[in-house]
Amino acid sequence: MRKNLLLYIFIFITVGSLYAQRTLERRETTAGLSVFVDKDPEIDQAGGGQAGAIISCPITLELSFSSNVDRTIDVYKTEERGDVRFYYLRLIVGRYRGASYANRLLEVAAPGFAPLRFLLELQPSESKSFEIFDPNATVGVGCFYQHFNEGTELFQKALYNEAREKYRLSMECTDMPADADIPAKIRDIDSILVLRPEADKLFDQLFYKDASTAYLKIVSYNVDDQYAQSRAREAVRLFTDNCKVYFDGAELHFSNGDYAEAKKLYEMVLTMSCPKSTEAGVRLVDIQKIEYDRSKRIQVVAYEFSPSPSLTVPGYSDDPLKTQALIGLTVGAYKEKKFSGYFSLRFTPSIFPAMQKDYEKSLRSEFNVSAGWTTMKLQVPVWGFFGIGYTGVSSWDYEDLNEDGNPTFRMHSAISPEIGVLGKLGPLVLRYTFQYRFPLDKDRKEYIGQIRNVFGVGICF
């Protein structure tokens, strides 16, 4: 058990140390055609080809060299110039004493760094120069990389003004690589400095969706910006919560008929581009239709009255029948550019005594129901309508007595087409209906009556 534990600790430390190691990078600094002259006379006399390499690095680094084709690397000279150390390497190229020195893979090692390997191809008498450096170092790496790495560190900490200044200073260094696109990094910083106040302003104004988009754009420039990441998450959460609150509140106002308040909340849902914007748009159309109907006062409710006729029916009663006026109610929609419908219900008050079996022979009760279509506006402010209905007129049949000796209740029916006009005077409505009756029993034509004039008064809304 103890041995296993020690083995695990050794593996953990070994792996951890590997991941903790930093990396080295190289850059070739050979200027034009360079000839190697520091040859080994012995190798030269034996016909062996030789070439050289000059490796420079910050004085803070101590390098060692090896390769896949050399037993040892001949470092024939080392010197320091200011904060830079130079290593001079003498290398055999081609074939020498039966061995091939082609395809040399040079390995550069330094304490605390992972080995750097690269293919070093040299021709006889050729000399090449390379710079080895720590890309993440801030000292001892030359002017450019010192400012560049400091700027990158500040950028990752979201200290953008300071990072921009460091990048600007790195552009003034004479050792800036030709492929270093520092202006692009400065443009990214400028974009972030514009986006951040805009995102904060949108967030403070409760435009959370737009704010989250702006914060995420900042994160696309700098994934290490913790402020932008947290604000983006918070904006998305608040956006979702607010959308739900606004839509649910709008639905409640809509169901309660408070369309003005519902409209405000639905419009807020649309302005915020909430997930339920489609549903909110449909509701706004419904509200618009309701408001239009109200503004045009399309809906009509009216009380109707038809004067009582004077009827004398031969063979039924020597005296005029007791008739009553028709009263009732009509409802309908009268639109400007579309057909719609209406419904009317009318009756005489005497129908209730008849239902209570008042056997007075001359008591005449009447019931009428009709429905039809309302036309488009004929002329301001007049509408037409037409329809068809049913009319029932009751009587007591004394020639047909029941077991109790009481007369039998009869209902005489007629089909009642009608036509009329309606006028609107602001909220006031006047309505006239002309009704003609076709009795199903021709013998009861006079009893039912052929014509009814119905007058109505009501309101529109």
Look at residue 434 in the predicted model and tell me its pLDDT: 97
Q: Is the pLDDT of residue 30 over 60?
A: yes
Query: Among 379, 372, 367, which residue's Cα sits nearest to residue 418?
Result: 372
Report field, pTM of the whole predicted structure over 0.85: no
Q: What is the C-alpha to C-alpha distance for residues 334 and 379, in angstroms, rounded to an integer?
A: 12
Q: What would the mean pLDDT of 145-168 be, rounded to a whole number? A: 90
Residue 3: pLDDT band by 50, 70, 90 thresholds? Answer: very low
Q: How far is CA 39 from CA 50, 72, 106, 399, in A?
A: 6, 16, 19, 151
pLDDT at res. 402: 77
Parse the chain into domains and list their residue ranges. 21-133, 181-295, 299-460
Give pLDDT, residue 149: 84
The percent of residues in the chain predicted with pLDDT above 90, rounded, is 50
Identify whether the C-beta of residue 266 lies closer than 8 Å to the C-beta of residue 251.
no
Nearest by Cα to 28 from 145, 123, 139, 120: 120
More confident residue, 60 or 368: 368
How confident is the model at residue 303, as a pLDDT?
97
- Is the CATH number of domain 21-133 2.60.120.1440? no
Give 309 or 74, the one with higher predicted confidence: 74
Output the pLDDT for position 224: 86
What band does 17 get if pLDDT is binned at 50, 70 and 90? very low
Between the alpha carbon of residue 324 and those of residues 16, 131, 363, the distances in Å are 107, 118, 9
Rg (alpha carbons) of the chain, rounded to whole number:
51
The band of 177, judged by pLDDT with boundaries at 50, 70 and 90, is confident
Q: Does the domain spanning 299-460 belong to CATH 3.40.50.10310?
A: no
What's the pLDDT score for residue 9? 37
pLDDT value at residue 321: 64
Confidence (pLDDT) at 4:
47
14 pLDDT exceeds 70? no
> What architecture (CATH level 2) is domain 181-295?
Alpha Horseshoe (1.25)
Looking at residues 364-377, what average pLDDT do you find?
Answer: 90
Q: State pLDDT tens for residues 243-266.
A: 999 999 999 999 998 998 999 999
Supply the pLDDT for residue 345: 96
Q: Which of 115-124, 136-145, 421-430 has the lowest mean pLDDT?
A: 136-145
Residue 115 has pLDDT above 70, yes or no: yes
Share above pLDDT 70 across residues of the chain, in percent, rounded to a whole number: 89
Q: Of the given ranges (43-52, 197-206, 288-297), which has the lowest mean pLDDT?
A: 288-297
Are residues 120 and 104 in contact, defined by beta-carbon separation less than 8 angstroms?
yes
Residues 24-34, mean pLDDT to the nearest whole number: 84
Give the DSSP letter string of 198-258: HHHHHHHTT-HHHHHHHHHHHHHH-TT-HHHHHHHHHHHHHHHHHHHHHHHHHHHHHHTT-
Residue of 312 and 180 predicted with greater confidence? 180
Q: Would the CATH topology of 21-133 be identical to that of 299-460?
A: no
pLDDT tens digits along 291-335: 877 667 788 999 999 998 766 555 555 556 667 889 999 999 988
- Per-residue pLDDT, 455: 97
- Pick 103 or 342 by higher pLDDT: 342
pLDDT of residue 248: 94
For the ranges 135-149, 302-316, 362-376, the maximum mean pLDDT occurs at: 362-376
Mean of all residue pLDDT scores within the chain: 86
Contacts of 169 (CB under 8 A, 6+ apart): 147
